[in-house]
Every structure is written in C-alpha cells, then in structure tokens.
Amino acid sequence: MRPLKLTMSAFGPYAGVEIIDFEKLKDKNIFLITGPTGAGKTTIFDALSYALFGEASGSSRDKDSLRSDFALPETVTYIELEFGLRGKVYKITRFPQQERKKARGEGFVSKNSEAHLILPDGDIITKVNNVDEKISGILGINKNQFRQIVMLPQGEFRKLLEADSAEREGIFRKIFGTETFETIQRKLDEQKKSIYKKIEETKTKRDTHVKHIETGEDELLIKLVNAKDLNITEIINETIELIKKDERDSKEIDEEVKELRTSQEKVQKSIVEGEEINRKLKEKYDLEKQYELDLLRDEEYKQKQIQLEKGRRAREVKLVEDSLRERENNLKLKEIQYKGAEKKLKEAESNLLLWEKQLKEQEGKEGDRKKLADSINTLKNQQEKVKDYELKSSKIIELREELKNKDNYLKKVKLTIADEKNKLEKTNKDLLESQKAETEKEKLDKTVYEKELVLKDMRLLYKKTGEYIDTVDKHKEISKSFEEFEKKYIGYKNSYELLEDNFRRGQAGLLAKDLEEGIPCPVCGATNHPKLAQLIDGVPTEEKLKEVKVEFEKLREEREKKLQVLSDLNGIIKSSKELLLELKDKQKELLGELSSIAEKDMLNYLVNKGTKTSEELNVLKEDQVKLVKLIEKKGMLEDTIIKLGNSIKEKEDLLQVLEKEYTEFYGKVESEEKLLISIEKEIPQEIRSSNKLLLKIKELENALIGLENAYKKAQENYNKAKTDHASSLSDKSGKAKNVQEAIKEVEACQYGLDNKIKDTGFEDCNQYALFRMAEEEITLLEKDIVEYYQNLKSLKDRFEKARKDVEGLSEISLEKLKESLNDLKLQQQKLEEREKTIYSRVNNNRKALKEIQNIGQLIKDDEEKYSVVGELARVANGDNRERITFERYVLAAYFDEIIKAANIRLNKMAVGRFVLKRKEEKGKGRKQEGLELEVFDNYTGKSRHVKTLSGGESFKASLALALGLADVVQSYAGGISLDTMFVDEGFGTLDPESLDNAIQCLINLQKGGRLVGIISHVPELKERIDARLEITPAKEGSKAKFIV
C-alpha cells in the first residue's frame, strides 16, 4: 500500500480542507515531516490510520475527538485518502460522528459516522462495517498489524522492546492471531477439570452405594465400609463372602422352619380333638339346664290356653260392637252436614243484600259513561294534526343530531391536528435523542469492554488468592500434624536403636561365653581372647527386633511421604505467591497498591471492589440497552415525522371545508325550528305525539268499558245471589231429616250389643272388654302355645342324644397344648424374621455390588481418559520442564524470527556491539516465561536486560525490533504489499554515528521502493533528507506543504 493523496477537512489542528499530494515526491522515497510541537505532524499519521481503519494511530487519541477546534460550524469533518496497491488505485472517504449545523433554522443535528470506498472498477462500497471489512481484505492486515509494520506512532514501538512476557504475549496475539492456541489450552484444561469432576462425582456415587451395603455382624466388612479411604476391591470380595454365608444360613433356616411346621400340625390336631370333646360335654350340660327351665313354665301356658278360648268368644261380640260404632260415626257425619247447611244459608242471605246494593250504585253512573264517549270522539278528531307535528319534530331532531355530529367532527379534527402537531414536536425531540444515543453508545461500549476486562482480572485474582490461602492453611495443618508425628517417630527411632544395640551386645556376650584360649574366634579368627564380652540381661530376640524394625520402617516411609507432601505444598505456595504478585502488579493501576494488604484481607477487599465494579457494569449495561432501544427507533421516528407532516396538511385542508358546511347547515336548522313552534301552540302538550294521543284515547275507552262491565256484572251477581239463597233454604230442610233417621239406627244397634254380651257368657260389658283381643293377638298367642310344646319335646330329644354321645368322655385341658403351639409359632416367627433380614440383606447387597462394579468400570474408563487429557492440559498450560504454554511456544517461534530480522539492522546501527536474543533460562518459581528479551553486549561478553540500555541504545534496538517485526508480519500475511513506513520521533537520543546508521537503514528501506516518512525535530535530519513536508501553525488552523 502506497498513499497517493491525503485530504483532511476540519481535522485536528487543520481548520479547512488540507490536501497532501504524495505524488509530488516523485522518485524521492524518504521524506521528513517537520514543524513546531503541536502543529499537527502526528495528526497526518492519525488521518492515514483513520482513513483506513476508522481509528487514530496512537492509543491515547479518541476517534470521537478528532474534529478541529479551529473549524467553522458549517465545515464538515472528513478524511479522504487515495492509495495505490499492486498497480490499482483505491479511494476511501470517512466522516467521523459530529454535530452539523441544521440546513434550515438554528441549532445542530448529530450525524453518525459514515464511510465509502471507491474500487478500481468504479464500484462503491458504503456503510462503515462494509468498508472496514473490505479494507481488511484488500490490505491483508488488521489495524494492530498496521501500527506495528507500517506506522510506528510516537512512543508505541518502544512498548515491544520493554514489555515483559505477559505484555509481549498480548501484543503478538493481536498481531499473529494465536487466540486459537490459547483456546486449545483453555479447552484442554476445562476438559481435564470436567473429567476430574465427573470421576469425583462418580466415586461419591459409588461410595454412597458402598455405605448402603448391609454388613450384618461381619466385623471386617464393617471396618472396611466405615474406613476413611475405601478399599473397594476388599469390600467387593468381603461382600461376596457375606452373601455366600447368608445364602447358607438361609437354607439352614428353611430346614428348621419345615420341622417346626410339622410339630405345629401335630399339636394343632390334638387341640382340635380336645375342643370337640369339650364342646359335646358343654352342649349336653346346656341342653339339660334349658329343659329343666322350660318344664317350670308348664302352668303358665295352661293359663294362656284359657285366655285363648275366651278371646275367641269375645271376637264374636266384637263384630256387633263394630256395627254400633259405624252407626255412631254416621250420626256424627249427618250432624256436621246439617250445621254446614245452616252456615251456607246465612252466607246466601248476606250476598243477596250486597249485590242488590251494588246494582243500584251502577244504575246511578249512566251520566259518566256518556261523558267518556264524547271525550273519545274529540281526541280521535286530533289524530291527523298530531301526525303532522310528529313528522316535523322528528325531522328537527335528525337535523339537530346531524348538526351536533358536524360540530363534534369539526372539534375532533381540530383536536387531532393539535395532537399530531404535539406528536410531531415530540418525535423530532426523540429523533434528536436517538441520534445522540449513537454517539453515546460507542463511548459506552468501550467503557463496558474495559470494565468487563477489569472484572475478569479481579475474579482471577480472587480465585488465585483463595487457592493460595487454602494451600497455606493446609500446609500449616499438615506441618502441625507432622510435628506431632515427628516426636512419635524420634521416640520410636531411639527405642529401635537402643533395642538394636542391646541385641548386638547380647550376641557378642553369647559368642564369648563358649570361647576358650587357643580356640579361634568364629568372628575374627583370633586365638587370644584378652577381654571377653559379658552377658547382659534383657537382650531382645531376633524376631522381636525384626518386628520392631518393620514398624520403624513403616513410620520412616510415612515420614518421607509427609515430608514430600509438605515439600510439594511449599512449591505450590511459592509459585502461587509469584502468580499473585504478577496479578497484583497487573491490577495496580486499577486497584491501587495491593502489596500492603494481607491475603485474607485481600478477599474481602476484592469482593467489595468486585461488587462495586459489577454494580457499575450492570448500570452501564442497562444504559447500553436503553441506548440500543433509542437507536433502533431512529428509522421509525423519521418515517413518523414524514407521515405526521402529510397528515396535518390533509386535516387542515379538510377543516376549511367542514367549517363552511357547518355554517350553511346551522341556518337550515333554525328555519325548521320556527315552523315547529307555530304548530305546538295548536296541540296540548300532553298529546303532541301519536303514541301519547292513542294512549289517552285507549285510557278513556278502557274507563268506559270498565263502567259498562261493572254495571253488567252487578246485574249478573244479583240474579245469581237470589238463586243461591233459594237452594240453601231447601238443602237445610233435607239435612235435618237425615239426622233424625241416624239417631234411630244407633239406638237399635246398642240394644243388639247388650244381648250378644249376655249370650256369649260374659257377665257384663267390662268383662267382655277385659278378654277382647285383636285377630293378630289371637293368632300370636296360639302360635306361642304351639311353639312352647314343640320346643319342649325337641329339647328332651336332643338332651337324650347328647347324653348318649358323651358316655365315657371327660373334659380335656387345652391351655398346655396352646402354650406349646404358641412356643412353636414364636420360634418359627423368629426364624422367619431372621430369614427375611438375611434375604433383604442378600438382595440389597447384590444390587449394591452390581452398582459398585458398574460404577467402578465407569471410573476406570474416565481415569484412562483423564490420564491422557490431564497430561495434555498440564503440558499445554505450562506445567512442563520449560514452563511455557502451547500458545507461548508458537509465539516464541515467531519471536525468534523477529529477533533474527531485527539483529540484521541492529548490527549495523550499533556497529556490531549489541545482539538481541530471547531469554531461554528459566526464572525462579513457576512463573510462565518464554518471551523475555535480553541483549548480549559484545564489549562485555555478557547478556543483560533490555531495560538497562541507554536512551539512544534503546531507540536503536526498538527501531530494529519494529523493522524486524514488520518484515516477519509481512512475510506471514500472505506476501502482502506494504510499500510505506512512517516513524514518529526518537532520533534525538542518537549520537551522530548512530544517527547515520539509523538513517542508512531507513535509506536501504526506500531503495527497495518503500516510501519512508519520518517525524523529528533533529536538525541533522533536515540536512540529510532533502524532501520535507513542512507543517505551519496559525490562529486560523495549521497548513501543510511539500518542499522537494
């Protein structure tokens, strides 16, 4: 890419339109950009960067603050760049977001950022996102790569030289796009943790099934199941043995239960036989008692037989008595009928007098009936006139309603116009807010992104601090435990050494006991024994010594394991501490100095800071959502404004037509109302409608009909009353005769009853009443007597049979038999309960065993996976001999090529003194490394950190590194064509010789056809570089001019 022409309008210090034509340089490929501080030299870099990528060249300049403070309000801010690439010319124009003066009226309107790109074939690409995507495709690099290999802004390219491993990793990641390798690291670690978590969860599930094993009285299994560390193999084997034992026990119990059931059947048979004998003896005794009791009631039933005979004779008298009662009831009925006839006669006489009076009253109302008939005729003559009045009234109502509707519609249109004007005003305000929201959202998006990064780093620091505290606490706990164990170990060690010493001395005494002068010693072979070892008491046996030694070796191994654990924890604590220092240093700018805060206090500090930051982030995200909603409304608001404007114009035109129609119609309604008033004067108010008139006529007609009907009814009622009176008089006379006949019948029946009582043998009526019985009572008494004699005979027969059945039998005692049966059942119950317990245990343990074995296979499969994935995750995340991550390993390869390319130029600029090299020695602790840079000084023969370089040396190394990076990025970017490089400041720190060497390197670049632009205040550069772009500041804005 080679710039051909740059146009800046109201950009930075340039108030108007400023054009920089790079084609004026012709064959001069290196030029100097000069001018006073603040004149706008770096702004040219910003303009080039903004034209291509929509952002300024330096990290400290905001794309929304690029508009010139010198520019007039009507001057639009924009950047236009023509550039050549592979023989083709492209033209790109960008407008940053800005406030522009309204075309009509006062004030400003916010305009969003815009961009368009003209391709070599004439096609035009519009919209910011589309242009950004197309430019990246054309150039083949992104904005981060562009800053490293094309444009080296003031102070930016030194960052690469002085950055530490972590910072350099971030820079290279953006340039070379190695995020994929970091993702592989992270996913491997996540997969490792996931598998480990799954294994632990599965083990917990397996351990739960282990705890569900029913151990019974198996002490070994109880101990295994309740152990802290479960030995699954032993548990499975012991559980299998327990199941086998339970199955054997279950078979034995089955045999015992069968024997008990046989014994129960025998005892049960004896009980049944005894119960049968006892039942027969009791039955004989009960029948004998019952027969004796029934014999005692014989006299009672003889008296019942006499009562039955007299009851039957009284039944014959009862028939005559019933006939008398019937005649008496008939007499009472006749007397009631006579009294009713008397009452009915009195009512008939009263009605006759009432209706005679009513008839005379109706005959006196003849004048009223004639008057009503005359009024009806008069009203009927008014009907036509009332109909005419009604028609005109109805018409007036319709006219008034129509007039009211016109008035309401007129008001409605006026209200609608006013409402739409208010809506139009509000919508214009909303549109302005929506336009402002676009500007605010870009700023807010950046703030949210920065806050999220801060929160992520704080969470990582919190997590690592918590892990560090836990590890330290664990180390303290294990250290305390080790101190106690160490005392035990030392004590046991001393005891063992003393025992071993006693054993050796004891062995010497035993050998010396049998030695004689002149006989060779079996140990040393000497024949002279001047001082024999003495026998001592309490010498331990060899077996005892071996036993103690075994225990001592176990303690020693356990001690070594504990020491190894403490050593591992020390390593983890040390590396965690180093990592925490790194993280705290990274957070220093955001959270302040953290080194003075203790780790335990750090957690609360981070929670408070994190909570506050999270709350701030949530507020910012809520603001984001609100701004998005405002922005989304922009198009709809613009459409609404157009629609409302058109609608208001249409309604105002309609309003004029409606007002004219209303005035004309109002005059017509007034004329009709005057004509109606003249008609109202001729018709009474109460009959001014056909309905009211008809109702009045109907009312009078009904009144007339009522009077006529009342007269007719009075005549009919009087005639009926006369007839009812004559009928009632005749009925009373007949009822009196019936009463006399009934009295005679009662007297005759009473005489017949008295004669019947004497004929049946009763002394008088009272004796008859004593033996009088109903037919049902006679039947029941007769049945009772017969049943008594039948039962007595039956009891006698049954008693005789029972006496014969029990001859030779005696009562059996059942208590002992039942006790024996209960004992047998209790034994059976205990055995069955034990069998159920065993069955339940076997069934439960088989299920648990099956689950444990199945889960064990799952754990085995997952552990095989974990052994592979865990190792990959460990190595990829830097837990390896080189302490370097997978991504950093890839970046180190890129870095080696960059350093190699940089040293070619640094060798010339530094006259062979310095050589850049990647530091390969591992540092202290577990800190991740691999991208550290150092410089080898050929004068001293030693390597040192690049930060120890002087200002001039640092500039040469930075420039060499930047040029090396540019070469490597260009080679890895698919052979992209980058024919331009711009360098901002730094040459003032160089001595004349170094300056010559640096300039020569840049001249070598331009010899290859690359255009090189340099910003510098160094006078020597002006003397050595002919072509200059001079920037001149002024009150009305800066100006730029090429001097070639």
**Tell me, what's the pLDDT at 537?**
59
What are the pLDDT digits (tens) for 374-388?
A: 777 877 777 777 777
Q: Where are the alpha helices (DSSP H) in 760-814?
A: 765-771, 775-805
Residue 541 per-residue DSSP state: P
Measured CA to CA, the distance from residue 886 to residue 879 in angstroms comes to 10
Total Cβ atoms within 10 A of residue 1032: 12
Task: Give the burial string for 139-177 (b: 16+ CB within 10 Å, else e).
Answer: bbbbbbbbbbbbbbbbebbbebbbbebeebbebbbbbbe
Residue pair 242/217 in contact by the 8 Å Cβ criterion:
no
Measured over all CA atoms, what is the biggest interatomic distance in the chain, rounded to whole angstroms? 190
Mean pLDDT (the chain, rounded): 80
Write the DSSP string, 72-137: -TTPPPEEEEEEEETTEEEEEEEE-SEEEE-SSSSSEEEE--EEEEE-TTS-EEESHHHHHHHHHH
For residue 401, what pLDDT is reported?
Answer: 86
Structure tokens at 974: 């698919």
Tokens for 353? Answer: 């007098």
Decide if pLDDT at 885 tops 80.
yes
Alpha-carbon distances of 679 from 173, 266, 380, 385, 673, rounded to whole Å: 103, 127, 18, 9, 10
Q: pLDDT tens digits, residue range 601-658?
A: 777 877 888 888 888 889 888 888 888 888 888 778 878 888 888 888 888 888 888 8
Query: Looking at this protein, which amino acid is placed at residue 572?
Result: I
Q: Which two tokens stand for residue 101?
A: 């003066």
544 vs 986 pLDDT, higher one: 544
- The answer to whether residues 32 and 1029 touch, using CB atoms and an 8 Å cutoff, is yes
Taking the C-alpha atoms of residue 991 and residue 1003, their distance in angstroms, rounded to an integer, is 18
Structure tokens at 362: 């109706």
Q: Domain residues of the chain, as ranges?
A: 1-140+986-991+1016-1044, 184-296+787-863, 383-634
Q: How far is CA 929 from the centre of its chain?
A: 43
pLDDT-based confidence at 926, cuts 50/70/90? very low
**pLDDT tens digits, 742-796:** 888 787 887 777 787 777 777 777 777 777 777 788 788 788 888 888 888 888 8
Check if the beta carbon of residue 22 is closer than 8 Å to that of residue 979: no
Mapping DSSP onto H, E and C, the string for 802-857 reads: HHHHCCCCCCCCCHHHHHHHHHHHHHHHHHHHHHHHHHHHHHHHHHHHHHHHHHHH
Output the pTM of the full model. Answer: 0.43
Mean pLDDT over 1030-1039 rounds to: 86
User: Would you state the pLDDT for residue 524?
Assistant: 56
% of the chain exceeding 70 in pLDDT: 88
Q: Which of the four pLDDT bands, split at 50, 70 and 90, describes residue 62?
A: low
Q: At residue 152, what is the residue type?
A: L
DSSP reduced 3-state for 33: strand
Give the Cα separation of 480 and 358 in Å (integer). Answer: 130
Confirm if 314 and 768 have CB atoms less than 8 A apart.
Answer: yes
Q: What is the spatial distance between Cα 92 and Cα 66, in angstroms, rounded to a whole number?
A: 18
d(CA 190, CA 244): 45
Residue linked to tokens 């009772």: 784
pLDDT digits (tens, 9 = 90+) for 420-458: 888 888 888 887 788 778 778 777 887 887 788 888 888
Q: Dump pLDDT digits (tens) for 832-878.
A: 888 888 888 888 888 888 988 898 899 889 989 988 998 898 888 88
Mean pLDDT of the region 968-983: 69
CB contact set of 603 (below 8 Å; sequence gap of 6+)? 462, 465, 466, 469
pLDDT digits (tens, 9 = 90+) for 159-207: 677 777 777 777 777 777 788 888 898 898 889 889 988 888 888 888 8
pLDDT, tens only, 316-369: 777 777 787 788 788 888 888 888 888 888 888 888 788 888 878 877 777 777
* Long-range contact pairs involving 96-102 (C-beta distance under 8 Å, separation at least 24): 96/50, 96/63, 96/64, 96/66, 96/67, 97/64, 97/438, 97/439, 97/442, 98/67, 100/76, 101/73, 101/74
Determine the residue type at 652. Answer: E
Whether 538 has a pLDDT exceeding 70, the answer reads: no
CB 747 within 8 A of CB 335: no
Provide the pLDDT for residue 80: 94
The position carrying tokens 């640094």 is 906
DSSP, collapsed to helix, strand or coil, labels residue 769 as helix
The listed CATH number (3.40.1000.10, 1.10.10.10, 3.40.50.620, 3.40.50.300) that belongs to domain 1-140+986-991+1016-1044: 3.40.50.300
DSSP assignment of 420-435: HHHHHHHHHHHHHHHH
pLDDT confidence of residue 927: 52
pLDDT at 504 over 80: no
User: How many other β-carbons are positioned within 10 Å of the β-carbon of residue 633?
Assistant: 17
d(C-alpha 467, C-alpha 538), whole Å = 55
